Chains A and B, each alone.
Chain A
Amino acid sequence: MAATLAGVPARPRRLLASRRTRIGILYALPAVAYLLALFVYPIFSTLLLSVQDLDGSLTLHWYADALTGVNLSVLFTTLRIAAETALFSLVIGFLLANAISRLRPLPAALAMLIVVVPHFISALVRTYGWIIMLGDKGLVNQLLAGLGVPGAPYQLLYNEIGVVIGTTAMMLPYTVLLLYGVMRGVDRRLLAAAASMGAGRLVIFRRVYLPLVAPGLATAGLLSFILALGYYITPALMGGPNQTMIASLINQQVMKQNQWNGAAAEGVILLLLTFAGLLLVKLVSSLGEAKKRSAS
């Protein structure tokens, strides 16, 4: 997968398939054993749990449960909120990372710190902070009302707006760090060269800069989508019942109802969704590679 992604031709790879590769496999053995025991085995036992009935016989009715009625609508909600979060954290993260990558090292480090520090505060405390900011009597609404903005106070909490604000803020450190790394790697001389050939700022951005950072964008977007899929504390605290996420249902089943099979089925569905997301990004990026190759 990595080989096709990177677009490395097959010939040099075959040359490497010799002693070096075999030694490499030997080195990888401990890690593989570790993953088998602590990662693959638990996932398979979860898989097994999800197709077992209470008396141990095989069944698919946990999946049927998970994919009907209110559970299905919760699943769609989860996808929707994850997608919204990915989109917003990508756009805002892009702007922030772009700004930070232009700063000198010291201010850049400081700006980075400001982006990351909120992560060290407990989710509960942070959410109470949001209530003080976004509530009907919160800072934002007071300010808007004071300025005489029509329609204020706006409902910024306990609905989808509140959830997306919260999850996006949670996700920003990831997207900013990731995009910042990619943006630092962009050779500025390429942009200068494009400018010297008479390209306008917009054209430089679209034809030179964006293609150079595109892989980073795809990864950052995917990462925030996947992480948001499993969120539930922030959506539970900042949203309403219409923003219930699937992880919340899993938690309820395990903690309140001691119902592990149904929870396992929902966990497996979540895992499959994640794989689908990965596959999608791989497809898009390999399409991009193919297009680039045919263009050159």
Chain B
Amino acid sequence: MTTSPIGRRALLRGAAALAALPALAACGTGTSRSSSASGGSGAGGGKTVAVRNSGGAYGEALKKAIYDPFTQETGITVQVANLDGAQVLAQIKQGRPQVDLIDNSMMDHAKFVRENALEQLDLDRLKNVKTAQLPENLITEYAVAVNFYAQCMAYRTDAFGGRKPESWADFWDAKAFQGGRSMCNPDADLPELEFALLADGVAMDKLYPLDVDRAFKAMERIRGEVKKFWDSGPLPGMLLTRQEVTMATVWHGRLADLFKQGVPVAAQLNGARRQFQGYAIAKGAPHLDAAYQLFDYSIRPEVQARLAMTYPTNPSSPLAYDKISEEVRNGLAGAPQYYDKGFDADTEWWLKNEEAVTKRWLGWARG
């Protein structure tokens, strides 16, 4: 027993050091610059461009469908950094961005604009914006949308005796379509107020500005059926596969894996919410020329189509869909036959209201 006090002392000291861990983990994220993914000048004097994307399967698809062919065509090496938006923003504010080109949601780009963190775009250097016939609203002063994702409902085809839910009203109707539901948590995406309003009878073209009170009242009706508010992309698919729920909201692209596995699941694109993803250039980007080149390259319809063939993402250029095989096209929420069923999320409205709605959502959900 003689060693016990020393051991305990050491342990307490260890515990004291650990005490600071939660706080550090919570606060330290953005204060330190990660130096692992270097964004400086390339090796051997060759030109490089550094691009930020969210990584994962999407990141791999980008490399295969866009970055590698781009390097082949131009000789410019593409370096990838999977940074959080907050990290990129902190770097730009320090005046030393690690990346030139930022692949992010248009909503996040708008937040960066508020912080004065993006280069104003010289559209003359983005020739393909015209040739790709991008819709006007996808071209802003600081960012251009290249693709979008759709958030829609998915359901188990074996759960309702052959009947198909057709609308958000059906999603809300727990008597006719029994079983648990799953909806998204603000950790993952914007609260699904639009779906609640559609279920409550609001017309799709009259959604914005959202009637928040009415939406939360409608959400209240489905609250009891929601077993889990999903906070990561694969979760709703997992819950459907395991029959934990019969219907869920889902990022449409995530369903492709389930179809491949033969899970009896189908998507309903009526009332789907579209959110756009695009490129912007970091203020003070060290490789401005190369950044414009990769930017312009990514907008080409055939490049957008190639990405869509690799990963279920929806090109922003209407011309791209002709270049996608019919089989793949029919699985995309952006295909011409589905497009009119959904609506675009109003970035402007959400920028103004996201914070307040998120806070109210948490209070509501904890109820």
A contacts, CB < 8 Å to B: 2, 5-8, 39, 42-43, 45-46, 69-70, 73-74, 124, 128, 131-132, 135-138, 157-158, 178, 181-182, 185-187, 212, 215-216, 219, 222-223, 226-227, 229-230, 236-237, 240-242, 244, 247-248, 250-252, 254-260, 263-264, 266-268, 270-271, 274-275, 277-278, 281-282
Closest A residue, CB atoms, query B180: A136
Can you list 7 A-B pairs with a CB-CB distance of less than 8 A?
A73-B366, A138-B242, A185-B4, A229-B22, A237-B232, A244-B362, A277-B19
- The answer to whether A267 and B229 touch across the interface, beta carbons within 8 angstroms, is no
- The answer to whether B1 and A267 touch across the interface, beta carbons within 8 angstroms, is no
- The answer to whether B20 and A43 touch across the interface, beta carbons within 8 angstroms, is yes
Q: How far is the CB of B125 from chain A (nearest CB, A)?
A: 29
- The answer to whether A236 and B231 touch across the interface, beta carbons within 8 angstroms, is yes
Closest B residue, CB atoms, query A137: B243
Residues of A within 8 A of B331 (CB): none
Closest 6 CB pairs of A and B: A230-B22, A241-B365, A267-B27, A271-B23, A274-B19, A6-B5
Residues of B within 8 A of A252 (CB): 186-187, 358
Q: How far is the CB of A267 from chain B (nearest CB, A)?
A: 4
Residues of A within 8 A of B27 (CB): 42, 46, 250, 263-264, 267
Q: How far is the CB of B85 from chain A (nearest CB, A)?
A: 7
- Given A132-B242, A219-B12, A230-B22 in contact, is the A185-B7 Cβ separation under 8 Å? yes
B86 at interface by CB-CB < 8 Å: yes
- The answer to whether A135 and B86 touch across the interface, beta carbons within 8 angstroms, is no
- The answer to whether A131 and B20 touch across the interface, beta carbons within 8 angstroms, is no
Closest A residue, CB atoms, query B182: A158
- Given A39-B20, A42-B28, A240-B229 in contact, is the A185-B1 Cβ separation under 8 Å? yes
- The answer to whether B16 and A268 touch across the interface, beta carbons within 8 angstroms, is no
- The answer to whether A226 and B1 touch across the interface, beta carbons within 8 angstroms, is no
| Most chain A CB within a 10 A radius of its CB, from B8, B26, B187 | B26
- The answer to whether B354 and A256 touch across the interface, beta carbons within 8 angstroms, is yes
Residues of B within 8 A of A137 (CB): 242-244
- Given A73-B366, A254-B86, A258-B86 in contact, is the A46-B111 Cβ separation under 8 Å? no
Residues of A within 8 A of B72 (CB): none
Residues of A within 8 A of B15 (CB): 219, 222-223, 226, 278, 281
Q: How far is the CB of B5 from chain A (nearest CB, A)?
A: 4
A237 to B229, CA, bound (A): 9
A42 to B85, CA, bound (A): 21
- The answer to whether B115 and A258 touch across the interface, beta carbons within 8 angstroms, is yes
